[in-house]
Structure 1
């Protein structure tokens, strides 16, 4: 009896020990590279600034890249792998994702100064942070310490959120990643900067119903403008701002547009169809919001940091790639 009790106690201790080891391995920390590569964050920031000088839209592109990386298997740089036809980046759900060259430039600079130290996954997270700040959004600190994953497969990106997803589908997909309805609203608000292609608008404008027609949630005032920019049978590669009137500045104008029927993307418009997501949007408006309401910028940062910790590999897991587009 005593022997059996000791075995049980030993098993419990092993489980507890393993639990805390698991927590410690999963921890990220602000300033992770302070000792091993002190200039890591400034190198990434300078690279993003240089890229934005020649292409202001790269800020939105880098923000989107971070989301797409984190959504599939966690924030492990798996979307960056480029030397395999079955690599994740070739998935249909990742079409239009870019910014890879900026990450590689930053990686090359870091490797020359601190070889084998800074992960590509961390570069992606830091670049997104810097992109938000350069677009006049909030400056915030990013916990780092991610390591790069060793798996990148197109099949793993099969359930990426899509612009045509219903609000219930979007909520379910985000919940599967540990993200709440509030996170869904705030991360969707990243559409405050950047553009989309008419390709993603065709069904919403002309085939919303089986027999044709437009999404009735689009403001009658806005519909002719969208159709003029994206005519039926026109060039589907024409691009338009996702945040009408404020497409180059990070602010909550996107949420105001969504409330008023001026959402460009169907997935953004659907946020007003659900009471939980609608109430989150409404909370950022009203006569007393500036004094007593929640801060959109602060909440966005919290959601970004939360997203940036999905499924991270730390400690001895994964690897630190020499180049971001290929495994070591």
Structure 2
């Protein structure tokens, strides 16, 4: 299975206007794409995401994760939103763990009423991830748009998603195969300041780490005790715990501060502190929240430009869960 991507030319610079805003120069995506065809598009999405996150902060984490899981597989084409027995949603990395579909579907329904078959599901997802960042206390940024929706979603193709058991080196390779840098990987991992993890994704660290240490010695003892109470042996039920036990509903740099204390829940989180490849970046972001915010916004725009369909490619789905019928 190929893990490479077509080259995408883009660059970004940051403007400070009460919040971090990004401008991406791309031959395929542009800011204000719907200015003439659907001028209220971004406002409509925002007006759905805001109340959804206020009612359930977990939706914020879910929308950011949906965008990431979409872009990492086949590019940012909303393929993760397609339903079906062999779709990406059925892959073990996504099964019963994706959230935020209702907000996407509600926003899309309003857009279809306002501007029929004009705004792609892929763009709705990109806008929603940006808005989720803002409504959970993180940076906001300008989203270049013009994506089109794909018509293919295959379960096996989601195998490229990074594993919660991955090392820093494996994560680096996963991200560089998609055209993202090592720093992008560490920056985007900061989204784990939000969200939850289920027991099977980390129980190995508690009960069966290796032949020498039944429990992962890099995990803080108080965190291990908390997780064991939530996930008793063998730790294979579907109980969920916050990825950031300190500020679970805020997108902030507490994630990096937790790693420095041995309080990363997943192996793929804690490895960023224990690996010499990434430890200095973790240390820097933990102490410089504004620096992380700028880089997060920049990296989200870069990720959102991966392997996009534009022009006459793909389609504009009427409903995000199914391809159009012609």
Matched, 1:311 2:301: no
Preserved contact between residue 190 and residue 253 of structure 2 (Cα < 8 Å): yes
Residue in 2 that maps onto 1:255:
256
1:121 deviates by: 0.3
C-alpha RMSD of matched pairs (Å): 2.0
Residue from 316, 320, 327 that aligns with 2:316: 320
Residue in 2 that maps onto 1:47:
48
Preserved contact between residue 244 and residue 254 of structure 1 (Cα < 8 Å): no
Partner secondary structure for residue 241 of structure 2: strand
1:222 deviates by: 2.6
Partners of 2:123 and 2:316 lie apart in 1 by 10
Partners of 1:33 and 1:63 lie apart in 2 by 22
Preserved contact between residue 201 and residue 230 of structure 1 (Cα < 8 Å): no
Residue in 2 that maps onto 1:181:
182
Partner secondary structure for residue 157 of structure 2: helix
Partners of 1:269 and 1:241 lie apart in 2 by 15
Preserved contact between residue 189 and residue 254 of structure 1 (Cα < 8 Å): yes
State the number of aligned residues: 301
Partners of 2:166 and 2:286 lie apart in 1 by 26
Residue in 2 that maps onto 1:129:
130
The normalised TM-score by structure 2 is 0.87
Deviations 1:172-193 (A, max 9, x none): 1111001111111111110111
Residue in 2 that maps onto 1:92:
92
* Pairing 1:99-248 to 2, within 5 Å after superposition: 99-210=100-211, 213-233=214-234, 236-248=237-249
Deviations 1:269-316 (A, max 9, x none): 011233231121122245xx58xxx71111111111111111111111
Which structure has the highest helix share of the two? 1
Preserved contact between residue 104 and residue 324 of structure 1 (Cα < 8 Å): yes
1:233 deviates by: 3.4
Unaligned runs of 5+ in 1: 1-18
1:156 deviates by: 1.1
Partners of 2:281 and 2:55 lie apart in 1 by 36
Partners of 1:125 and 1:241 lie apart in 2 by 24
Partners of 1:53 and 1:188 lie apart in 2 by 23
Deviations 1:151-203 (A, max 9, x none): 11112111210101122211111110011111111111101112211221211
Which of the two has higher C-alpha Rg? 1
Matched, 1:267 2:268: yes
Q: Could you say if the C-alpha distance between residues 285 and 249 of structure 1 is closer, same or farther in structure 2, counting changes exceeding 3 Å?
A: closer
Partners of 1:33 and 1:211 lie apart in 2 by 58
Q: Could you say if the C-alpha distance between residues 25 and 170 of structure 1 is closer, same or farther in structure 2, counting changes exceeding 3 Å?
A: closer
Residue in 2 that maps onto 1:11:
none
Preserved contact between residue 199 and residue 238 of structure 2 (Cα < 8 Å): yes
Bigger CA drift: 116-125 or 239-248? 239-248
Deviations 1:214-266 (A, max 9, x none): 11110233322222222213572222111121111111010010111111111
Partners of 1:191 and 1:234 lie apart in 2 by 21
Partner secondary structure for residue 240 of structure 1: strand
Partners of 2:242 and 2:110 lie apart in 1 by 32
Partners of 2:259 and 2:143 lie apart in 1 by 28
Partners of 1:60 and 1:327 lie apart in 2 by 26
